[in-house]
């Protein structure tokens, strides 16, 4: 056992040179046995995660050392574990332009891009394509709102969209919690389609949409106090730096994402997402912004033509693993495990969406078989795939029929068990197609969720 004076003050396996004032007192959470340091770092899942490292990471896929900025006990969010305060706030190094990843990592990235290509082609060719795009955005918004503490069902979300589209008073769930995410997606996609890069200016605008902030420049809206990554401060797994450190690091990220390089597009999206997550540039909604950036970047770089990959839907069930992977990059400086993980998520979600397209088309065919071949009724039944929550007014508006005819259509669809009537407080009856909503939610046949 070596003297603990030889150890760095904070765990995290950083190089001693990363301390601006040089090595200080030991980290008492770490031990050294036969020249191998075992570092114990906080986790949101377990009390501690232990990393054993024989030597500093090396190789082309290793990042340079990051910096650890001291966090006084009197600053930062209340409730953060003392071990994290002792460790300090992390400032990641700039992303290198010459990273070389292992062949296995490139293989997973290729699989992800192939799956995205198949999905994009399937959505373009499907008559259900526009409905799938709308459903993806709503599912993503519902998942994001849920992670922010607001539980909203898909039924409520589709109902709120239906009513607000024709100027009805917005329900609280959409107006306060879902609509900001939907606006952010629309804004980001509109910008990149107009030729804008997916950079700090764009993520700043999307963040402003999500939080209701004034749309100022990204630098003016940056976080001004130490931040934390985790579900709550008490369950935080990393503190994040602020001030001049953050401004410079975000500018470096901005330069890096604009660079043209030889990395696979999925690998670059994965690295940019990691860096944005760890920088945590804004006071709130950073995780949502990082995922929205990925959605927009996949469209900007040509892998998808629209937002048809619901990344936020996947995350709630895999949050502990996601957090472990983020923290592992900080601790080991190795990025290829993270890139493989994130590329695998994209691949699996794309394949799940392919299953969803096929399932929705099969359900549309099933609806059509239950009704006469001609007339408006089969169109109403098939279009429920795209609009799973309807009312009489919506049917009148879409198909140019009378309210009496619309009432007859819904009555027949209820008899055939395609629709179920739903009494929504403050409104006339709505009608729900539960088979569609089940396919859009946690159906294992159409979802990559664990």
pLDDT tens digits, 253-270: 999 999 888 899 999 999
Is pLDDT of 175 > 80? no
CATH 3.30.300.20 fits 368-440, yes or no: no
- Reading the block at residue 83, the tokens are 């071990």
Percent of the chain with pLDDT over 70: 79
What pLDDT does residue 445 have? 62
Is pLDDT of 28 > 80? no
What pLDDT does residue 35 have? 30
Which region among 52-66, 201-215, 243-257, 427-441 has the lowest average model confidence (pLDDT)? 52-66
Strand partners, 50: 40
Is pLDDT of 71 > 70? yes
Q: What backbone torsions phi and psi does residue 319 show, to the nearest 5 degrees?
A: -60, -45
Is pLDDT of 80 > 60? yes
Q: Write down the CATH superfamily of domain 103-356.
A: Fido-like domain (1.10.3290.10)
Is pLDDT of 231 > 80? yes
SS3 392: helix
| Nearest in space to 331 (alpha carbons), one of 6, 29, 76 | 29
Do 103-356 and 368-440 agree at the fold level?
no
What pLDDT does residue 98 have? 85
Strand partners, 227: 240
Is pLDDT of 133 > 60? yes
What pLDDT does residue 216 have? 53
What pLDDT does residue 76 have? 64
Q: Give residue 220's pLDDT band: very low, low, confident or very high (50, 70, 90).
A: low
Percent of the chain with pLDDT over 90: 50
Q: Give residue 121's pLDDT band: very low, low, confident or very high (50, 70, 90).
A: very high
Q: Give residue 224's pLDDT band: very low, low, confident or very high (50, 70, 90).
A: confident
Residue 19 or residue 159, greater confidence: 159
Is pLDDT of 17 > 50? no
> How far is residue 107 CA from its own chain's centroid?
23
pLDDT digits (tens, 9 = 90+) for 347-360: 999 999 999 999 99
Residue 325 or residue 61, greater confidence: 325
What pLDDT does residue 242 have? 82
Which region among 47-61, 225-239, 306-320, 431-445 has the lowest average model confidence (pLDDT)? 47-61
Is pLDDT of 177 > 70? yes
DSSP string, 83-111: HHHHH-EEEPPPPPS-----HHHHHHHHH
Could you tell me the CA-to-CA distances from 178 to 140, 181, 312 in Å, in that order? 9, 6, 13
Mean pLDDT of 40-59: 37
Q: Give residue 172's pLDDT band: very low, low, confident or very high (50, 70, 90).
A: low
Mean pLDDT of 203-208: 88
Q: Convert 121-157 into a string of H (helix), E (strand) and C (coil).
A: HHHHHCCCHHHHHHHHHHHHHHHHHHHCCCCCCHHHH
Domain segments of the chain as ranges = 1-56, 103-356, 368-440
* Residue recorded with tokens 């039924």: 155
């Amino acid at each position: 056992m070596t003297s603990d004076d030889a150890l760095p003050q904070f765990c995290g396996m950083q190089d001693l040179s990363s301390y601006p004032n040089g090595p200080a007192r030991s980290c008492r959470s770490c031990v050294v046995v036969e020249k191998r340091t075992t570092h114990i770092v906080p986790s949101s899942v377990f009390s501690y995660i232990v990393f054993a490292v024989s030597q500093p990471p090396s190789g082309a896929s290793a990042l340079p050392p990051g910096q650890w900025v001291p966090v006084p006990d009197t600053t930062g969010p209340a409730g953060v574990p003392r071990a994290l305060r002792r460790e300090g706030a992390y400032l990641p190094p700039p992303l290198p332009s010459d990273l070389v990843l292992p062949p296995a990592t490139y293989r997973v990235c290729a699989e992800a891009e192939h799956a995205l290509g198949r999905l994009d082609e399937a959505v373009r060719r499907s008559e259900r394509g526009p409905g799938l795009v709308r459903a993806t955005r709503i599912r993503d918004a519902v998942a994001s709102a849920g992670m922010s503490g607001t539980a909203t069902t898909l039924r409520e979300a589709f109902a709120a969209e239906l009513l607000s589209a024709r100027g009805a008073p917005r329900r609280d769930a959409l107006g306060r919690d879902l609509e900001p995410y939907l606006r952010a997606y629309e804004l980001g996609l509109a910008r990149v389609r107009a030729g804008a890069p997916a950079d700090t200016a764009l993520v700043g605008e999307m963040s402003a949409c999500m939080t209701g902030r004034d749309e100022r420049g990204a630098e003016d809206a940056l976080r001004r106090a130490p931040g934390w990554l985790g579900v709550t401060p008490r369950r935080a797994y990393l503190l994040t730096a602020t001030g001049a450190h953050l401004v410079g690091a975000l500018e470096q990220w901005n330069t890096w994402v604009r660079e043209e390089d030889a990395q696979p597009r999925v690998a670059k999206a994965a690295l940019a997402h990691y860096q944005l997550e760890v920088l945590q540039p804004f006071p709130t909604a950073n995780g949502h912004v990082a995922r929205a950036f990925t959605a927009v970047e996949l469209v900007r770089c040509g892998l998808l033509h629209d937002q048809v990959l619901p990344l936020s839907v996947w995350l709630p069930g895999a949050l502990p693993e996601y957090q472990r992977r983020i923290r592992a990059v900080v601790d080991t400086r190795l990025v290829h495990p993270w890139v493989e993980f994130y590329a695998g998520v994209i691949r699996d979600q794309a394949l799940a969406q392919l299953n969803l397209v096929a399932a929705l088309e099969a359900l549309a065919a099933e609806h059509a078989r239950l009704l006469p071949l001609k007339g408006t009724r089969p169109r109403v039944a098939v279009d429920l795939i795209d609009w799973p929550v309807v009312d009489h007014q919506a049917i009148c508006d879409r198909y140019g029929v009378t309210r009496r005819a619309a009432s007859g259509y819904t009555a027949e669809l209820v008899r055939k068990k395609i629709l179920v009537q739903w009494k929504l407080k403050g409104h006339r009856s709505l009608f729900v197609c539960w088979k569609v909503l089940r396919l859009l939610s946690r159906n294992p046949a159409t979802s990559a969720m664990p």
